[in-house]
Amino acid sequence: MTSEQKIALKQKIEQEINNTKAQIEELKVLTQPIKPENSLGRVSRMDAINNKSINDRGLRMAKMKLTKLEMAFEKIDESAFGKCSRCKNNIQEKRLMLLPESTLCVRCAR
């Protein structure tokens, strides 16, 4: 990986970290407990509970992504960065730009 590619990837990771942090904050608001005193009908209350559970999963996924992005940002200058953790081949640059937290090449990710 060239130094220009690393710089572009660092910028991409920083941008993804910022976007993911903003997404986490939005999801925290959406995952607040649903108070029973709200004047919702039974069906509307069930919908609200269902939406909350979907947002809970989204929040967990966003937190995991943030952790992976922060680890990638810390390891970007290491020689092993950009290598597949399974087959040890280089991970394609386009894959890293799309999913900077990737630790597997396309072949191993299948």
pLDDT in the model for residue 40: 59
Residue 96: how many CB atoms within 10 A of its CB?
Answer: 23
Angle formed at CA 93 by CA 105 and CA 83, multiple of 5 degrees? 45
> Each residue of 38-86: pLDDT tens digit?
565 667 778 888 889 999 999 999 999 999 999 999 999 898 899 999 9
Task: Judge whether 81 and 93 are in contact, CB under 8 Å.
Answer: no
Q: Where are the domains of the chain?
A: 3-81
pLDDT in the model for residue 37: 63
Q: How many residues does the chain have?
A: 110
pLDDT in the model for residue 45: 75
Q: Which carries the bigger pLDDT value, residue 55 or residue 1?
A: 55
Report the candidate in 71, 74, 64 with the shortest Cα–Cα distance to residue 20: 64
Lowest mean pLDDT among 32-36, 61-65, 105-109: 32-36
